[in-house]
Every structure is written in structure tokens, then in C-alpha cells.
Structure 1
Amino acid sequence: MHSGSTGVELKGDIASKTLNPGDVVLVQGSVEAIENLNTNSNMLVIENEDLDLGTKRSFVPLYIMVAVAALAASNLLPISIAAMLGLIGMLVFRLMNWSDVGNAMNIPIIMLIVASLSLGNALEITGGSDYLAEFFVYMTGAMSVPFILSTLMLLMAILTNVVSNNAAAVIGTPIAINIAQQLGAPIEPFVLAVLFGANMSFFTPIGYKTNLLIMGAGGYKFNDFVKIGLPLAFIMWVAFSIILPALYL
């Protein structure tokens, strides 16, 4: 319920609230109930949307999704092939058309992933990852390998909240491999440190695309992500800083 007079969202039991002129209420109900509100009350239905969940056809996308997940989980098909077959099934059953496919594609996200992969390849081919790895090892040369591993994961956690987690992982992985090789340490924990650090993207709204979605929908502020996400990221960083050396070093 949104108050038209004060411009704020009213929370709590709506039965205890008094409606005033200009208030906006989100209502869910049958078609008859909504029409009754529009004709037999002092309320005006501004916009309505029908939701049909009763036909057998509406469950076909669910069956297709389950089939795709089952094919991928059982290793019968790669996830990319299974997903493509699922898309073809949606088109065959006319549950969507080619325009829906085009509209569902997020071109900026695709370009970001492509650019990140290109940047990662460029760092590896030009020797940039070697240089960054040498610089990192030089700056942390007096530290122990577990401490270096923890520091790398912390840097990835910071980077992923500035750029996307995909970009952080693609950029950080070749650098992590070079760091491990220069230290004479196993590669696996350093790659895992990058992957775990790159997924600690919850203490800024720009860390991950879903953060931006819930920020707009929930009316959250930048500080809300910091208050909740930063302690959570710290707990995960400390935990993985202990677990990874214990398992691999």
C-alpha cells in the first residue's frame, strides 16, 4: 500500500489502515472481485493483468526445464546442448517466438562477458598476467603461502564488487596460476581463491546484476548492501582462508 498524501510505503496489516484519497493499493483476486471493486466501491482500478495458470499448456515450460536439468545433471548432454534443445522445444510448442528470444538476450551482459574473456586472453598472451603475478609475489614475498593465498582472495573480493564477478574471475585466474607457479605451490587453491573471491559480490549494488534488481524493487540503498554484505563477505573470506590451506597446502 502506497500513501498518496505522504508518498511513503505503508507496511503492516492493511486492515488496520485507513484509506485516504490518492492511496494506491496492490490487490490480487479473481476477475469478478476486481470488477466489483471497480463498479461497486469508491476505488478506481488503474491497471489490471490477467494471470492464467490453469491450462495444461502452461505446465509445458516446467516439463522442459526439468528435462533440461535432468539431461545436464545425468551427464547425458552438456548443459549448453540441453539448454539449446529446451529452447527448440519452447519454439516447437509455440510457447515463445523468435522475438521473445531476442528480447530475452541481455546484450550488455553478453558484451561484458566477451570483453572480459578477451581481456583475460590478452593478459595471458602479452605476458601481462606474468608481470602482475611477479609484482604480487614481490609485494608479498616475505609472507607465507597461506597468507598470500588469503590476500589474493581478498583482492578478488574487492575487485568483483567494482566490476562483474565474471570479469574478476577471467582476469584473476591466469594471474593466480602464474602466482602459484612462481611460488612452487599447487595451482588448485589459488584458482579456487579467485573463484571464491569473485563470488563475494554482495557488499555493493554493482557487484552483481541481481543486486541492482533487488535494489530497485526493494527500495534499498547503497549502505544496506554494505551493512549486510560486508560482514557476510568477511565471514566467507576468513572461512576459506582457513579451509583452502588446510586442504591443499
Structure 2
Amino acid sequence: MNATENVVILQEFEGTNVVSQFKRYFSLSILLLVIILASTGLLSIMVSALTGVCLLLLTGNLDLTTVYKKVNWQIFFLLAGMIPLGLAMNNTGTDMWISEQLLGFLSGRPNWVVTGTLFLVTMLMSGVVSNNATAIIMTPIAISVAQGLELDFKPFILGVMFAANFSFFTPVGYQTNTLIYGIGNYKFKHFLLIGGFLSLLLWVVATFLLTEML
């Protein structure tokens, strides 16, 4: 089949393995345990997840070879490649330039314009740079803008925090978007249309709420 012309194999069929009822319920119990440990604050999310993985490995419910085959390594390299982009913007002074441009544009503007513009700039940047890098870059800019306009900086920090995670309009704006884009039958336009509408709605609501805090 692999040598057949005019045929492209997108994904090979894998037969289902017969799993005992005990392993199924045990795996489900581990999942619930991880959720309980993380939600109650007994352990952090990362430690809880690692604890669950270790229990599954020790009991033979999880095989590392299978895990390695299921991982889409292209996604990891894509996300790792976006981190240096954020560092480059910081090292070259691009973040300070953005801060100066925002201060010049927002001086004398109404509060809703100030919060909405900062939120929009952060959300657009997060569409091409990772959310963590965007937050690192935009947080000092938000504080600088707030101090320059003599406003409370807390709503600005909250705006950066939310806007950096509201970039649903590109498949690389957030890790979850990229994972879905990698394993699903989605195109860039799907994120632009559906995610763009959702991001626009969240932008309007967040601008209103953040302005009320000033």
C-alpha cells in the first residue's frame, strides 16, 4: 500500500488493544486523583500530573514507547522557537519602542481607549509570539504606560494577563491552539474566523470591565 501511486497515507490504522476493566478504572482513578490534588492545592498542577504519570508507569498502565510515538514533536519545536523571538524583542529594545509609541498615542485619551488599546496590542502580539513571552514583554510596558498616564497599574497588568491568553485567532497563539491544529483537520482560516470572533468578543467585554476598575 505504501508503494501505491496516487495514494497518500495520512495516518495508519492502529488496532485497538484489549484492556482489562481493572486497568480502565485504575487509570480513571489516577486521573481523578490528579485533579483533586491540583484543585485542592495540596500539590501544584505540574507535580500532580507527574505523580499521576509515575503511578501509571509503575503499575504498567502506561508505556513510554507508546507515549513517544504519540507525541507530535513538531509542536514542541514550534513553541520552543517562539521563545527566542520574545527575548529578541526585549534585547533589541523593541519593547521600549512600543511603550513610547503607546504613551504618545494614548496621552489625553479616555480610559476605555487606553485599556482597549493595550489589550488589543497584547492580544495581537500573543497571536505570533507565545503567551508567556508576550506577558514578559508587555507587563513592563503596561506599568510604564500606567505611570505615564498617572493611572492605577493593576487593571493594566490584569489586561496583559488576560489578553496574552485570548489569542484564539491563530494556531500558534497559544499552546492548546497549536496542539489542536496539529492533530485535527483544521486550517488557518478556521482559527481566524471562529477564534477571531471569540477574541473580538472577549476584547470588548474585557475593555469594559477593566475600565470600570480605573
State the Cα deviation string for residues 128-174 of structure 1 (Å, max 9, x = none). 65554233212221213331111011111211222233332232223
Instruction: List runs of 5+ in structure 2 lacking aligned partners.
Output: 1-5
User: Residue 69 of structure 1 aligns to a residue in which SS?
Assistant: helix
Which among 238, 245, 248 is matched to residue 204 of structure 2? 238
1:154 alignment partner, SS class: helix
Alignment match, 1:108: 77
Runs of 4+ in 1 over 6 A off after TM superposition: 125-128
Counterpart mapping for 1:1-249 below 5 A = 47=13, 49-99=15-65, 104=71, 106=73, 107-108=76-77, 111-112=80-81, 115=84, 119=87, 123=90, 129-130=95-96, 132-215=98-181, 219-246=185-212, 248-249=213-214
Residue type matched to 1:227 in 2? L
Structure 1 residues 197 and 48: alpha-carbon distance in aligned structure 2, compared to 1, 3 A threshold: closer
Q: Which has the higher contact order (CA 8 A, sep 6+)?
A: 2
The one-character-per-residue Cα deviations of 1:21-76 (angstroms, maximum 9, x if unpaired) are x9xxxxxxxxxxxxxxxxxxxxxxx9551243542013322212211221121122
Paired with 1:113 and 1:75, the residues of 2 have a C-alpha distance of 31
> By how many angstroms is 1:237 displaced?
0.8
Deviations 1:93-141 (A, max 9, x none): 1223555666659542663476477x29x83x99765554233212221
Contact 1:116 1:166 in 2 (8 A): no
Unaligned runs of 5+ in 1: 1-6, 8-21, 23-45
Q: Is the 8 A contact 2:130 2:173 kept in 1?
A: yes
Change (3 A) 1:160 1:126: closer
Relative to 1, partners in 2 of residues 1:235 and 1:59: Cα closer, same or farther, differing over 3 Å? same
Structure 2: how far apart are the matches of 1:71 and 1:216?
30
Query: How many matched pairs?
Result: 202
Q: Is the 8 A contact 1:172 1:194 kept in 2?
A: yes
Check 1:97–1:50 CA distance in 2 against 1; reply closer, same or farther (3 A cut). Answer: closer
Q: Distance in 1 between matches of 2:61 and 2:151?
A: 52
Identity %: 33
Partner of 1:32: none
TM-score by length of 2: 0.74
TM-score (norm. length: structure 1): 0.65
Query: What value does the CA root-mean-square deviation take over the aligned residues?
Result: 3.5
Asked if structure 1 preserves the Cα contact closer than 8 Å seen for 2:170 and 2:195, the reply is yes
Q: 2:3 maps to what in 1?
A: none
Flag the structure with larger Rg.
1
- What secondary structure, in the 3-state scheme, does the structure 2 residue paired with 1:72 have? helix
